[in-house]
Amino acid sequence: MKNVAPALTDLLAHALGGRPPIRLRAWDGSQAGPPGAPLVVLRTPRALRRLLWQPDELGLAQAYVTGDLDVEGDLSDALRTLWDAARERGLHPPAPTPAARARAALLALRTGAIGPRPPAPATQARLSGTLHSKTRDKAAISHHYDLSNDFYALLLDPTMAYSCGYWASDDPAHTLADAQRDKLDLICRKLRLTPDARLLDIGCGWGSLTLHAAEHHKARVDAVTLSAEQRDHVRALVTGRGLDDRVRVELRDYRDLDSGGYDAVATVEMGEHVGDAQYPAFAAVLHRALRPHGRLLVQQMSRGANAPGGGPFIEAYIAPDMHMRPLGHTIGMLEDAGLEVRHAESLREHYTRTIDAWRDRLETLWPQAVDLVGEETARVWRLYLAGSSLAFAERRMGVDQILAVRPAADGSAR
């Protein structure tokens, strides 16, 4: 079939109740749509087949990560254009008429879109077992964090901090590494770490906070993670820096923590993986781990009361089983566990800037990224970072630092 793009554009106009805000280029070379609009490229009929079988965000993501569908130019701009059209222009699909269904079926047949369901991309998570069981949670963490230490080293700053930075300066010379150092300093100040203070770091990642607290504040740190690659990475750094007498790193589920009496507990962007039903039990673990007057710092992503969280793509490719809730809901569960919340600080704008720094590194080092993890995984990350930056910029997602204290038996907290 010739002139695939104009035919598809007309079909989309009927299906969406308005002209699509993008320009299409199909595998036959035909183009249609407003000049200057983001250009979406359909490289093969398989892109349409994926959308016929999965006509939603996940189908689009599958087509993109496999390369069946591509976007020329800035991916974030294209996503912003589509989101704005859905939100502001109110493209509400009308109920399809029999004639419209017939036209769609005929076009699908003529373009070769009719056929067996394409297999899910290899990068899509495949988890089994009971939701948020220890085994499934470990598999979910491994899917994301055991990808490749070398890939994360390419993407992140030298501390390997994979969380929102704190941009204390607008100076263009202020780097991602500076923002992550400022974030670690901020956490340690809020926790009031002193020499030999006992810190529990739950979900320690590649050890940025653990090492910073031990080296710069002389704290004694117990760090836990569910990622074997992270544990081995942090242990090697601990030994290399002569911190074996101050730091212990273990592969352990938070539900298996059996010691308490810590002066401080930190959990940085780990609570999103706990699950909604399990969060009260998680909050109870945080309370139990602290001594009276001990301080807790939770850095955690959130969503608005009426805003979506991660969405099907992130849950299928990046963080399976993750759950985000409005900030107030999390604070309520921490208070219900017996903790006194003393302060909450939004870092939402800081996350947009952090993610954009990661995006810049990914695009600049694209050939190396592809060599490390393959084209499909690199495309997953390109889509993930572009969409996440937009979600934080548009306030559909947030991130907050919550400071809490375990009161003493007499109710005092300081």
Cα separations (Å) of 127 from 120, 143, 274, 317? Answer: 13, 9, 16, 11
Pick from 185, 212, 214: nearest CA to 197: 214
Point out the domain boundary residue: 47, 78, 111.
111
Q: Looking at the structure, do residues 222 and 98 belong to the same domain, yes or no?
A: no
Phi, psi of 250 (to 5 degrees): -135, 150
Asked if residue 301 is part of any domain, the answer here is: yes
3-state SS record for 348-410: HHHHHHHHHHHHHHHHHCHHHHHHHHCHHHHHHHHHHHHHHHHHHHCCCEEEEEEEEECCCCC
- CA pair distance 288, 258, nearest whole angstrom: 9
- pLDDT in the model for residue 199: 98
Query: Do both 286 and 349 map to the same domain?
Result: yes
Residue 341 bridge partners (DSSP): 404
40 & 165 share domain: no
368 belongs to a structural domain: yes
Q: Residue 122 falls within a domain, yes or no?
A: no
The verdict on residue 129 lying in a domain is: no
Distance CA 119, CA 273 (A): 27
> Using CA atoms, how far apart are residues 163 and 152, in angstroms rounded to an integer?
12
Measured between alpha carbons, how far is 329 from 77 in angstroms, rounded to an integer? 32
Question: What number of CA atoms fall less than 13 Å from residue 135's CA on the CB side?
Answer: 4
Q: Where are the alpha helices (DSSP H) in 122-227?
A: 134-145, 149-155, 176-191, 208-216
Q: What is the DSSP letter of 226?
A: S
> Domain check: are 99 and 31 in the same one?
yes
**In this prediction, what percent of the chain has a pLDDT beyond 90?**
68
| Beta strands at 397-405 and 198-202: parallel, antiparallel or unpaired | unpaired
Could you give the CA distance from residue 195 to residue 213 in angstroms, rounded to a whole number? 9
Tokens 């919550």 correspond to what residue?
Answer: 402
> Same structural domain for residues 211 and 325?
yes
Q: Cα angle at 25 between 21 and 30, to 5 degrees? A: 120
Contacts of 2 (CB under 8 A, 6+ apart): 28, 30
Same-domain check for residues 280 and 233:
yes
Last residue of a domain, one of 77, 111, 145: 111
Report yes or no on 255 lying in a domain.
yes
Domain range holding 31?
A: 4-111
pLDDT, one tens digit for every residue, the chain (414 residues) = 688 998 888 877 776 667 888 899 999 999 999 998 999 999 999 998 998 888 888 999 999 999 999 999 889 889 988 888 767 655 555 566 677 677 777 877 888 888 899 999 999 988 889 988 989 988 888 888 888 899 999 999 999 999 999 999 988 889 999 999 999 999 999 999 999 999 999 999 999 999 999 999 999 999 999 999 999 999 999 999 999 999 999 999 999 998 899 999 999 999 999 988 999 999 999 999 999 999 999 999 998 776 666 678 888 888 888 889 999 999 999 999 999 999 999 999 999 999 999 999 999 999 999 999 999 999 999 999 999 999 999 999 999 999 999 999 887 777
What pLDDT was estimated at residue 205? 95
Tell me whether residue 123 is in a domain: no
pLDDT at residue 109, as a whole number: 82
Burial, 75: exposed, middle or buried (Cβ in 10 Å; 0-12, 13-18, 19+)? buried
Both 146 and 23 in one domain: the answer is: no
Is there a single domain that holds both residue 376 and residue 264?
yes
Residue 300's beta-bridge partner residues?
400
Q: What is the pLDDT of residue 320?
A: 84
199 CB-side CA count, 13 A: 34
Q: Whole-angstrom Cα distance, residue 163 to residue 269?
A: 7
Same-domain pairing of 182 and 98: no
Give the model's pLDDT for residue 27.
94
**Length of the chain, please?**
414
Residue 414 lies in a domain: no
Nearest one of 306, 308, 332, 343 to 322, comparing CA atoms: 308
Same domain, 156 and 264: yes
Contact call for residues 68 and 50 (beta carbons, < 8 A): yes
The CATH code of the domain that includes 376 is: 3.40.50.150
Q: What is the DSSP letter of 93?
A: P
Q: Give counts: helices (H), strands (E), the chain.
A: 16, 11
From the CA atom positions of the chain, what is the Rg in Å?
24
Give residue 90's pLDDT. Answer: 56
Structurally, how many domains does the chain consist of? 2
Residues 106 and 146 in one domain: no
Is residue 120 a part of any domain in this protein? no
Looking at the fold, whether 43 and 178 belong to one and the same domain comes out as no
Residue that finishes a domain, picked among 80, 111, 142? 111
